[in-house]
């Protein structure tokens, strides 16, 4: 194995992109051989421009050594395209990064139903809610969410997946030590804490516009599918979708308001043949056969009838009063309607109270607020989370009803 310093030298050369670096590796066999080649050897290669030959002739390794020192200090790993841990899925594209910098624990991506969730930075409340729900559902059903960690849809999808207790792999267009956007520092920490963030750019590289199209090919390259949640016609998400098609990946799109410019791109993808989706569960269904050990049993949510709801509400109210242990509430009849163990682990007291207030009937928001004895803001917040998580649904006129999960047959 060639020394890492030669890999870092090759990947950091100005004017030598990933495509050219891969062609050089095919010709010379290793970055070390590329480094020790003579200028005349480079000149024999068809298509190399003068500035590229000049870059390759610069044998200064100080920059590469500094990058290695920075990675060691910051705790980042370096994967080369020749490493066994390098994702074969990514290596199969035409221009894979020859080096990946890794923060956190990178899953074995080739064994994961990895789905990139992408969309506009300037998204609507509809887009935020939908992206968070899709990220949550993908994670709950065993898919690995891939995110660019950008503002807007990327952030919402990543947060949804984390809220479900799943891992996220972030792909960024800057050095791993550069948080972009700055307000996502906590999100970066959360993602790296249980998943990983990867970049082809060394530490200290600032976020730049030209980096993001390159980042997008990695997003789709490590994934089996790309879900476009909300995107205008001129959007990086559409670039990612186009790259995904070129790479042989699946493309999914969520329909949006036909009058909204922020949805024109995603709606166009549907006209062009993208797979129509309304939930993360529908994406997970596509990969059940390919990843049977990863994808959890996909469930279909249907409204509770009055008898089922009464049984559920009675048990929930008992939990609120008595706070029973898992053993006391974990029985087949209750789980048949809704997993109360899961409720106990994932819902707070306000959310429990809202479910109890809705009961077996369809209730207007004003009735729910009155029954909960909570403030309007607390109830609205709980309703939003419960709807995202799929425990309730809103029907016309601010009315809500409970849902339960039924195994797909």
pLDDT tens-digit map of 80-118: 999 999 999 999 999 999 999 999 999 999 999 999 999
* Whole-angstrom distance, CA of residue 298 vs CA of residue 285: 7
Whether residue 324 is found in the same domain as residue 280: no
Which two tokens mark 42? 């480079």
For position 356, what pLDDT does the model report?
83
Is the domain of 206 the same as that of 346? no
Residue at a domain's end among 241, 264, 286: 286
Residues 148 and 230 placed together within one structural domain of the fold = yes
Does residue 274 belong to any structural domain of this protein? yes
Q: What is the pLDDT of residues 154-212, one digit of tens each?
A: 999 999 999 988 999 999 999 999 999 999 999 999 999 999 999 999 999 999 988 99
Mark whether 113 and 176 lie in a shared domain. yes
Helix, strand, coil shares of the chain, percent, nearest 5, are 50, 15, 35
The CATH number for 202's domain is 3.40.50.450
Q: Check residue 305 and give its pLDDT.
A: 54
Q: Report how far apart, in Å, the C-alpha atoms of 250 and of each of 110, 130, 200 are.
A: 15, 19, 24
Regions of the chain where pLDDT drops below 50 = 1, 300-302, 304, 319-341, 344, 406-409
Q: What is the pTM of this model?
A: 0.76
Residue range of the domain that includes 121? 109-286
Dihedral of CA atoms 341, 343, 349, 355 in degrees, nearest 10, equals -130
Last residue of a domain, one of 36, 68, 100: 68
Smallest CA-to-CA distance from 137 within 310, 323, 278 is with 278
Structural domains in the chain (count): 3
Angle between helices 306-322 and 349-358 (to 10 degrees): 150
**Confidence at residue 2, expressed as pLDDT on a 0 to 100 scale:** 56
The pLDDT, as a whole number, for residue 351 is 82
How far is it, in rounded angstroms, from Cα 86 to Cα 102? 11
pLDDT value for 81: 97
């Amino acid at each position: 194995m060639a020394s890492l310093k030669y890999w870092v030298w090759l990947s950091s050369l100005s004017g030598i992109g990933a495509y050219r670096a891969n062609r050089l590796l095919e010709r010379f066999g290793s970055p070390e051989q590329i480094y020790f080649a003579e200028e005349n050897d480079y000149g024999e290669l068809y298509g190399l421009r003068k500035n590229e030959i000049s870059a390759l002739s610069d044998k200064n390794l100080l920059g590469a050594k500094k990058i290695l020192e920075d990675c060691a200090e910051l705790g980042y790993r370096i994967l080369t395209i020749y490493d066994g841990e390098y994702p074969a899925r990514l290596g199969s594209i035409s221009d894979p990064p020859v080096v990946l910098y890794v923060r956190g624990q990178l899953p074995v991506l080739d064994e994961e139903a990895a789905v990139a969730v992408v969309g506009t930075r300037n998204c609507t409340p509809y887009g935020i809610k939908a992206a968070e729900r899709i990220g949550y559902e993908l994670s709950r059903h065993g898919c690995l969410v891939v995110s660019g960690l950008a503002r807007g849809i990327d952030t919402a999808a990543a947060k949804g997946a984390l809220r479900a207790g799943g891992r996220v792999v972030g792909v960024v267009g800057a050095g791993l030590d550069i948080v972009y956007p700055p307000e996502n520092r906590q999100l970066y920490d959360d993602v790296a804490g249980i998943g990983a963030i990867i970049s082809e750019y060394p530490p200290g590289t600032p976020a730049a516009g030209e980096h993001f199209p390159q980042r997008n090919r990695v997003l789709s390259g490590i994934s089996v599918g790309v879900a476009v949640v909300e995107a205008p016609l001129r959007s990086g998400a559409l670039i990612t979708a186009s790259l995904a098609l070129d790479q042989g990946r699946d493309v999914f799109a969520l329909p949006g308001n036909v009058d909204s410019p922020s949805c024109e791109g995603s709606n166009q993808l549907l006209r062009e043949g993208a797979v129509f989706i309304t939930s993360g569960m529908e994406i997970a269904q596509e990969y059940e056969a390919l990843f049977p050990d990863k994808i959890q049993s996909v469930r279909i949510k249907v409204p509770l009838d009055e008898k089922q709801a009464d049984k559920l509400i009675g048990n929930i109210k008992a939990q609120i009063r008595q706070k029973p242990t898992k053993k006391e509430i974990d029985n087949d009849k209750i789980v048949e309607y809704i997993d109360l163990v899961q409720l106990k682990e994932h819902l707070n007291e306000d959310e429990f109270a809202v479910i109890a207030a809705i009961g077996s009937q369809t209730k207007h928001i004003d009735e729910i607020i009155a029954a909960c004895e909570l403030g309007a803001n607390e109830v609205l917040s709980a309703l939003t989370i419960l709807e995202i998580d799929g425990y309730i649904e809103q029907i016309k006129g601010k009315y809500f009803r409970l849902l339960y999960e039924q195994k797909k047959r």
